[in-house]
Chain A
Amino acid sequence: MTVTERQQLSYIAAQAADARVNLEIETEGMTLNIGPQHPATHGTLRIVAKLDGEQVVSAEPVMGYMHRGYEKLAEVRTYPQVTTLINRIDWLGSFANEVPFILAAEQLMEVEAPPRAQWIRTILFELSRIANVTLFLGDMAVQVGAITPVFFAFRDREHVLNQIEAATGGRFHPNFDRIGGLKDDLPAGWVAETRRAMGKIRAFCDQIEELVEGNEIFQARTRGIGVIPADVGLSYGLTGANIRASGVDWDLRRDSPCGLVHDQVDWKVWTHPDGDSFARFWVRLQETREATKIVDQLLDGIPPGPIMAKVPVIIKVPAGEAHVETENPLGVMGYYVVSKGDLFPFRVKIRSASFSNVSITPWLLKGVYVPDIITILGSLYFILGDIDR
C-alpha cells in the first residue's frame, strides 16, 4: 500500500507551513488539558497536549474513565447473557455489536441461522450503521462551529431508531440477536415503514451535502487537516471509513462476508484518496447513502421461513476457538471467543474499532494547531464505550 501523490503533497505543504511559523515566532511551551469531556460528548476522553504557541508538540490521550471490564465480566456470564453487556460497547450502533459475537458462538456450535434471520440481521445491522453515522454527519459540523446540522441529524436519526424500536423493542439496546437466529419476527407493516425512513435518510444526506460539505468554512477547516497515509493507518490498525478515506479499498462486508448477506445485494465500497478530515467525512456520507440502498434491496427480498434454527434451550458451546469480525459502523469489530465446552465463554477478547482508531492520535496530533484537534478527533469518529469497553 503506497501513499498517493496527493496525500504526500498536502502533507509536505502542511509541514512546510508549520516550519515557517516555528521560525517566525519563538514561543514558550505549555500544557493544555482537554477534557475529560469529549467535545461532542461521546463519552469522556481526556487529552493532555503539550503546546508550543498554537501548535501541538505532543498529545497523549488518557482513557479509562468508562472502563467497565467487559472481557472479565463475559467470563462469568452465559453466552446469551453476554449480548446484554456488549450492546453497550458502541452504544449508537448497538445491534451491530451483538452480531460478531453471536456469529462466533454460532461458528463454534456449528449452527447456522435460517436465511430469513440472516436477512433481517443484515437489515438491522445496516440500520444501526445509519443511526450511528447519521449522528456523526450532524456532529462533524458542530466541531467547526455550525450548530444547526446536528438538530437535523437528531431529527432524522429518530426515523431509524423508531424502526429499530418497532422491530426489537429497544431504541438503543436491542439485545435482539440470538444464537441461531433472532428473538422475534418483524412486526406487520415494518417493511413499508422502513422504506419510508430510508427515503428520509437519503433526503437528510442531500441536505447535509448542501449545508456542510460545500461550505467554505467547513472545507477550510477540514481539507488537508489530519492527513493519514494509508500505510501508517494500517500499521496503527485503523479501520472502517477512517482507512477507506486514506484510499484503502477494504470492507469486510464485501471482502469476507460471514453470516451476513451483503453479498446478495448490489452496492459499492467508497474510498477517498486524500486521507484528511474532509475525506473521512465524505466517505461516511457516501456510506450512509449506500447503506440505505443496501437496506432497500434487502427489504425487497426477505425470504420466508423460520427465524430461529434448532438450538438447545440451555446453550453449551463446544470447546474451541473462533474469531469473527464484521464491518461495524465505527470500523472492524471482532470477538475472539475461547470456549471450553461450558455455559460461559472461557475468554472473550473484544477487538473494538475505536480503540485502534484513536491509538493513532499521538502520531496524528503532533504538529497540528489547537482548533484542529477538535476537528481531527471529530473526523476520526469514536465512541468512548468502544475505546474503554
Chain B
Amino acid sequence: MSSTDTAEVADAAADADHAAEQAAAEAEALVERLRGALGDGLVEWHTDRGTLWVRVERDSWADLARWLRNDEGFAFFNFLSAIDWLPSPFGRDMDSAVDNALDPPEPAEPPATETGAAGGDTRFQLLARLNDVASGRSVIAKADLPTDDLRAPSWVPTYPGADWHEREAWEMFGIDFDGHPGLRHIYLPGEFEGHPLRKDYPLLARRVKPWPGLVDVELMPETNGGKDGPS
C-alpha cells in the first residue's frame, strides 16, 4: 500500500469517525428534546452504530409517536412489532422434542438482565421504528408491557399505517391496542387459538419430529487421490 493510499484510508476513517460523532451528538440532542416533551415517560436510551433506541413508559407510547411525527418530522412509519423476552421453555428447540410433546416443561421466568438495547423490565416489549425521510434520522422505540395487562395505546390515530402492524402484534403476541379501529386476525384463520410468536407457543413440527442434526456443516471428505471410494 502506497503512502497516498494510507493517507486516503486514514482520511476516510477520520470522516467516518466524524460522521459517527456528529450522529451521536444529534441523537443526544433529540433525546434531550424528547425528555423535555415526555418528562419521566422516557425510561432509557441507547445508541449503537448510528441507531438510536429509546424506551418509554407504556402511557407515553402514543405521545412519543405524536411528538416524533408532529414536532420532529418523523413522517415515515417503518414497522411495529413486539419481542417476547422469555427464554424458550422448550430448550434450544434442537434437542429431542418428541418426549416433551404431551408434557411440556413449565415456562420459566426470564432473567431481567437478558433484555437487549435500552433494557427492559418485563417479558413483553413493544418494538417500533420511525424514520425522518428528509434528514435520514431514525428511532427505534420500545415500551415495556406488564405481563398481566398486555395493552398499549394505539398508534393508528397518528400513523394510519400502524393498523395492520398492530393487528399482527395482537394476533402473534396477544397485545391489545386501545383505540385501534378493529383488532381481528390478519394472517391466521378466525378460529385460531393461541399467539404463535410467544416463546411458550410450541412449534409443533419441532415437537413431533426430532431435528435431524444440530450441526448443519459437514466438512468435505478428504481427497484420497481416487484410490478407494467412488470416482
Write the nearest CB–CB distance from B170 to chain A, whole angstroms. Answer: 14
Q: Which residues of A contact B160 (CB under 8 A)?
A: 232, 235-236, 363
Q: Which residues of B contact A359 (CB under 8 A)?
A: 161, 163-165
CB of A67 closer than 8 Å to a CB of B: yes
A237→B78 contact, CB < 8 A: yes
Identify the stretch in B36-44, B54-62, B79-87, B144-152 within 8 Å (CB) of chain A at 4 or more residues. B79-87
B188→A332 contact, CB < 8 A: no
Most chain A CB within 10 A, of B48, B76, B136, is at: B76
Write the nearest CB–CB distance from B70 to chain A, whole angstroms. Answer: 12
B197→A72 contact, CB < 8 A: yes
| B44-66 interface with A by 8 A CB criterion | 48-49, 51, 53
Cα A76 to Cα B158 with chains together (Å): 35
Task: Report how many residues on chain A are interfacial, defined by Cβ distance under 8 Å.
Answer: 50
Cα A359 to Cα B80 with chains together (Å): 13
Q: What's the dominant secondary structure at chain B's contact region?
A: loop
B187→A248 contact, CB < 8 A: no
Write the nearest CB–CB distance from A360 to chain B, whole angstroms. Answer: 7
Contact with B along A221-263 (1 / 0, CB 8 A): 0000000000110111110000000001010000110000000
A231→B92 contact, CB < 8 A: no
Interchain CB contact (< 8 A) of A67 among B53, B79, B164, B188: B188
Kindly state the interface size class of chain B when it binds its partner.
35 or more
Contact with B along A123-161 (1 / 0, CB 8 A): 000000000000000000000000000000000000000
Q: Which residues of B contact A351 (CB under 8 A)?
A: 78-79, 129
Identify the stretch in A17-25, A163-171, A335-343 within 8 Å (CB) of chain B at 4 or more residues. A335-343
CB of B67 closer than 8 Å to a CB of A: no
Contact with B along A286-316 (1 / 0, CB 8 A): 0000000000000000000000000001100
Contact with A along B215-228 (1 / 0, CB 8 A): 11101000000000
Q: Which residues of B contact A332 (CB under 8 A)?
A: 78
B188's nearest neighbour on chain A, judged by CB, is: A64
Q: Which residues of B contact A355 (CB under 8 A)?
A: 164
B93→A63 contact, CB < 8 A: no
B contact residues vs A (CB 8 Å cutoff): 48-49, 51, 53, 69, 75-79, 81, 83-84, 87-88, 92-94, 114, 116-117, 127, 129, 133-134, 136, 140, 158-161, 163-165, 172, 185-189, 196-197, 201, 203, 206, 211, 215-217, 219
Interface CB pairs A-B, < 8 A, 26: A64-B186, A71-B197, A72-B196, A72-B197, A76-B93, A80-B216, A80-B217, A234-B75, A236-B159, A236-B160, A250-B133, A319-B116, A320-B48, A320-B117, A321-B116, A323-B51, A336-B127, A336-B140, A338-B83, A340-B114, A342-B92, A343-B92, A347-B83, A359-B161, A359-B163, A359-B165
A contact residues vs B (CB 8 Å cutoff): 1, 63-64, 67, 69, 71-73, 75-76, 78, 80-81, 107, 231-232, 234-238, 248, 250, 255-256, 313-314, 319-323, 325, 332, 334, 336, 338, 340, 342-344, 347, 349, 351, 355-356, 359-360, 363, 388
